[in-house]
Structure 1
Amino acid sequence: MLRNVLNICCAHIKHPNVNLTTRRLMAGHSKWANIKHLKAEKDEYKAVLFAKILRQIRLAIQEGDSVDPALNSMLRSEIDKAVKQNVPFDTIQNTLRRFQNNKMQFTKHRLGIQYKKNVFVICIINTNNFSGFKMDATAMIKKSGGIFVDVTHIFEDFGWIRARLAEVVLYPKSQTFEEKVFEDAIEFGAEDVKVVDCSSRTVNFKCDPTYLTALCKRLQINGYTVEKSEHIFYAHDPVKLTSELHDAYQVFLKKLQILPGVENIYDNVKE
């Protein structure tokens, strides 16, 4: 054993530069590989994010029935969000031109998934080719340990809208902003309302999910800018995952998130 150690030491003394250079090269190679890997992940995330933002612009055009941001507050809000996320302005303009005369309609779909034993997922998809999406998604989901199931009994659902009342909207001085908002909520058919910020006149409305689109339009007609609307699913009994299952689920979740058309994912996993 001692002889072997001495031989190894002598080899390093005879050829010190060879091993040192090799180690440096290997360390550099490892660092370069890590940089490439991180850049690839970042580029993939950016591509998925941009695709989702552009889909939201397309949906805003469809729901607001106009490619003019001045006439479509939902579109104006989505364009503002796109700019904040550093989507190139040329890309936004090309998207508006492409959809101006395009009659292709996106439709919203919902998929229920059971992952492993006790994780239940609702996946919201916006696409013009749902059968194609499901065909592409099925192989990945099954390979990861998931199956399609009905999970509606696991969740409570409701419509949620964040809106901002324009400053030009006047109401009696005897009426406070909160009173104005509550009165509007009752009149427009919302189930609940919460003032987020009085200074910016930002409000959250809650409604029956089937009334979500209609309430958005009602708010816009009456001086509100809809900044975001969502059909939300909230798990009745969230579950805590083991460390091993949590890590495996995060890998599955990432694969699900990058599927073209996926907008939102809800699950029963406790944070």
Structure 2
Amino acid sequence: MAGHSKWSQIKRKKGANDKKRSAMYSKHIRAIGAAVRSGGSGDPAGNLGLKNAIAAAKADTVPVDNIENAIKRALGAEAGAAEFKEVTYEGYGPGGTAIFIEALTDNVNRTVADIRAVFNKRGGSLGNSGSVAWQFEKKGVLLVRDTAETVQELAIEHGAEDIQESEDGLEISTGPADLYAVQDALTGAGYEVESAEVSMVPSNTVAVDAADARKLLAVIDALEELDDVQNVYSNADLPEDVEA
């Protein structure tokens, strides 16, 4: 979740069971296909949306063959094939938290109904467009398991805007267009980048107690299980014991 340290999100994804992993792969394949069609190219070098989609898929260990086949299918899509539209939804979760949802859908009415049902069942409410989006900003986020000063200097030299240090390593923020320049500079210098992705980062976080944190995670899990939902972001600052 983008409201707190990204390290926990990586661990959570890697620990997903086989059923959730299969659903995750399907979402990435859908995102890659949509990026090819919207960008008009199967070459990530000239299609930033596709490059982002491929990077996100690789971060979740989607096999390279699956990625390549998804690009080929999108390039050869027949007339009349389902067209997926990028849409966003905004809402409020337990503890007054803001929730921002990115989806890919071929049926907006179905998607909004499913999302509203989750909020109604799990707690929270679906908001209007613009109700919480102003609290988030699109950023490139890289995680590096190294806190050396040379890493930080190299990242700043190639476009890093902010660097946060934790016991796990560095969380580096960039503008969306600078993400891969920083990643390439670090990997080229021999540093291992744990993750690099475009994310919606909250400008401020809201601290929630343990009870609300567990309710919020239940909302997010239920939203992420929806086929049309690609990403769910929150501005929650979770207690460490709940996050673990």
Q: Deviations over 1:191-248 (max 9, x none)?
A: x84699xxxxxx9543xxxxx6xx58xx99xx99xx6434x2415351322x233222
Larger radius of gyration: 1
Of residues 206, 211, 226, the one that matches 1:238 is 206
Give yes or no for contact 2:86–2:104 (8 Å, CA) kept in 1.
Answer: yes
Report the TM-score when normalising by structure 1: 0.53
Give the distance between the partners of 1:270 and 1:84, measured in 2 at CA. 23
Of residues 223, 234, 237, the one that matches 1:267 is 234
- Name the SS for the 2:89 alignment partner: strand
What is the number of equivalent residue pairs in this alignment?
Answer: 191
Q: Give the alignment's Cα RMSD to 1 decimal.
A: 4.1
- Name the SS for the 2:233 alignment partner: strand
Give yes or no for contact 2:100–2:133 (8 Å, CA) kept in 1.
Answer: no
Give the distance between the partners of 1:267 and 1:127, measured in 2 at CA. 21
User: Are the structure 2 counterparts of residues 118 and 54 from structure 1 closer, same or farther at C-alpha, using a change threshold of 3 Å?
Assistant: same
- Name the SS for the 2:29 alignment partner: helix
Higher relative contact order (CA 8 A, sep 6+): 2
Unaligned runs of 5+ residues in structure 1 are 1-40, 164-176, 183-191, 197-202, 207-211
Aligned to 1:7: none
Aligned to 1:46: 21
Of residues 111, 127, 140, the one that matches 2:118 is 140
Report the TM-score when normalising by structure 2: 0.58
Give the distance between the partners of 1:65 and 1:237, measured in 2 at CA. 37
- Name the SS for the 1:108 alignment partner: strand
Give yes or no for contact 1:158–1:233 (8 Å, CA) kept in 2.
Answer: yes
Give yes or no for contact 2:91–2:132 (8 Å, CA) kept in 1.
Answer: no
Aligned to 2:103: 125
Identity within the alignment, %: 18
- Name the SS for the 2:28 alignment partner: helix
Aligned to 2:169: none
User: Are the structure 2 counterparts of residues 193 and 246 from structure 1 closer, same or farther at C-alpha, using a change threshold of 3 Å?
Assistant: closer
How much has 1:259 moved relative to structure 2? 1.0
How much has 1:42 moved relative to structure 2? 0.8
Aligned to 1:229: 198
Give the distance between the partners of 1:116 and 1:50, measured in 2 at CA. 29
Of residues 139, 152, 156, the one that matches 2:135 is 156
